[in-house]
Amino acid sequence: MFIMMLSAIVIIGISLAMMMISSILSKKTLIDREKSSPFECGFDPKSSPRLPFSLQFFLIAMIFLIFDVEITLLVPLVSILKISKIYWFWAVSTFFIIILLMGLYHEWNQGALEWAI
């Protein structure tokens, strides 16, 4: 028990020391306006380099990622069919798909799936 406590303290100490050293070494003392400005062939940029971001596009992308992860959770159900009882397989898969459809209905009802023009 003492060896585990000692090793945990040593590991935490080394981690904290590494974080403090990296924090000290990574500090920038001078902020140069020229280095932080966008570079466009040596000339000042004609327009703002920061374009407005479409929140609707971000929301659609997040919904796509969520449903993409859910599809990856559905794929192993086919291999589970071989090793489980048919009743439990259908109960679990139906429950999971109902949850997905409820989430899709909620997003549709809230208007998140409609692209604003």
CATH at residue 87: 1.20.58
Residue 16: domain span: 2-110
> Is 37 part of any domain?
yes
Measure Cα distances from 113 to 19, 22, 70, 99, 100 in Å. 43, 44, 17, 18, 15
CA distances from 74 to 3, 61, 71, 106, 115 (A): 44, 20, 5, 20, 27
30-72: per-residue pLDDT in tens?
A: 566 666 666 656 666 566 666 677 777 888 888 888 888 888 8
Pick from 2-11, 51-60, 73-82, 96-105: least confident: 51-60
The arithmetic mean of pLDDT across residues 3-7, rounded, is: 91
**Percent of the chain with pLDDT strictly greater than 90:** 18
Count of domains for the chain:
1
Q: For residue 45, what pLDDT is reported?
A: 59
Which pLDDT band, with edges at 50, 70 and 90, does 11 fall under? Answer: very high
Q: Is residue 72 situated within a structural domain?
A: yes
Whole-number pLDDT of residue 80: 82
pTM of the model as a whole: 0.47
